[in-house]
């Protein structure tokens, strides 16, 4: 594929790099020099991507990347909370207008309504455009088709594992909170600093998500009216095959099975088997975790409904497989 057709993939990679940089720089509080460093990296990334893919940024908004960096330096200049909030607002406005009209269009001739619409659009892109970039803009099917059937299978399984990771982490955290024995077993199996791993993962995901929305708006969204920039149908954005969904639900089912096995062994194995692992009485162990299990049930239903919504239903066997995994 040509460089221009690979632009969405480059935007995703640039977002991940800036997400890693954001985790490294912006975790330290209070904010100071780290803010202009990260905003400067973001501003530098725009012309770099444009030059790499031969994209001409002719809009007046491209020049607003410079004021965004200048406003960000205010965090290193003054340690006043009020001033820093003003600097942050100025940075957000400059980036919103830059993303709105860097590709084409002029900023000086826009009206107040146009500026307000640009801020609203910037917020919507920050919230949703990362999804559109991943599931709508990047030609995953073309990459898979170029590598043959084996590459398609590997891509589907990899996507399923990627989707399963946050699901298993969330449900696993609830189940370990609900059962002290299960918590001990999981801690022995994964003797890592889980809190640090989750903390870094959330930070990287957050900054990558926002960056992907900004870069997509800058390079891939045409400068049109807010009505014309409507979201595509959810089916076209999130359509997934049975392999991706099957891997996710299968991993979740294995987690539930492990939890049930632990519950069965220690709930019916007597108090001696229980006290050999944790210092709880039989009645205390039986009563613990009720609300966590309610949360698990409350989250499982919308997860299954969402999975069914995005499942490709062009094959009856896929629907049957989904029903079996969801049962």
- Same domain for 113 and 217, yes or no, is no
- pLDDT tens digits, residue range 104-147? 766 665 566 777 777 888 888 888 888 888 877 877 767 666 66
Boundaries of domain holding 299: 148-204+211-326
Q: What is the 3-state secondary structure (H, E, C) of 296-308?
A: HHHHHHHHHHHHH
Residue with the bigger pLDDT between 227 and 101: it is 101
Q: Is the pLDDT of residue 228 over 60?
A: no
Dist CA 48 CA 149 (whole Å): 35
Whole-number mean pLDDT of the chain? 80
The Cα-based distances of 307 to 140, 243, 318, 322 in angstroms read 20, 12, 12, 9
Alpha helix positions (H), 102-233: 112-132, 140-178, 180-189, 194-219
Q: Quick check: is 68 in a domain?
A: yes
| pTM metric for this prediction | 0.65
- Same domain for 159 and 128, yes or no, is no
Boundary-marking domain end, from 84, 116, 137: 137
Q: Residue 314 — φ and ψ, nearest 5°?
A: -85, 0
- pLDDT tens digits, residue range 177-216? 777 777 777 877 776 676 788 788 889 999 999 999 999 9
pLDDT bin (cut points 50, 70, 90) of residue 224 is very low
- Same domain for 112 and 154, yes or no, is no
């Amino acid at each position: 594929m040509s460089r221009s057709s690979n632009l969405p993939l480059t935007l995703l990679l640039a977002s991940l790099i800036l997400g890693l940089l954001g985790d490294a720089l912006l975790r330290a509080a209070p904010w100071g020099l780290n803010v202009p460093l990260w905003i400067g990296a973001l501003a530098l990334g725009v012309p770099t991507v444009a030059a790499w893919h031969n994209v001409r940024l002719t809009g007046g908004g491209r020049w607003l990347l410079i004021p965004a960096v200048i406003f960000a330096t205010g965090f290193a200049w003054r340690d006043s909370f009020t001033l820093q909030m003003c600097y942050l607002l100025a940075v957000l406005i400059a980036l919103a207008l830059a993303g709105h009209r860097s590709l084409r269009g002029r900023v000086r001739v826009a009206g107040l309504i146009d500026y307000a619409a640009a801020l609203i659009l910037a917020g919507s892109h920050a919230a949703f455009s990362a999804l559109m970039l991943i599931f709508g803009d990047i030609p995953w099917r073309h990459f898979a088709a170029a590598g043959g059937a084996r590459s398609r299978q590997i891509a589907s399984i990899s996507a399923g594992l990627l989707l399963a990771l946050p699901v298993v982490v969330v449900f696993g955290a609830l189940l370990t909170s609900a059962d002290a024995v299960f918590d001990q077993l999981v801690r022995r199996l994964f003797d890592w600093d889980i809190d640090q791993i989750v903390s870094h993962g959330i930070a990287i995901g957050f900054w990558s998500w926002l960056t992907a929305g900004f870069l997509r708006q800058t390079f891939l969204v045409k400068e049109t009216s807010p009505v014309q920039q409507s979201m595509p149908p959810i089916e076209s954005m999130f359509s997934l095959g049975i392999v991706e969904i099957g891997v996710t639900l299968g991993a979740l089912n294995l987690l539930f099975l492990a939890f049930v096995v632990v519950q069965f062994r220690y709930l019916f194995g007597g108090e001696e088997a229980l006290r050999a692992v944790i210092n709880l009485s039989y009645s205390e162990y039986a009563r613990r975790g009720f609300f966590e299990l309610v949360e698990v049930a409350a989250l499982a239903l919308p997860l299954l409904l969402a999975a069914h919504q995005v499942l490709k239903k062009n094959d009856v066997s896929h629907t049957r497989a989904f029903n079996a995994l969801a049962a």
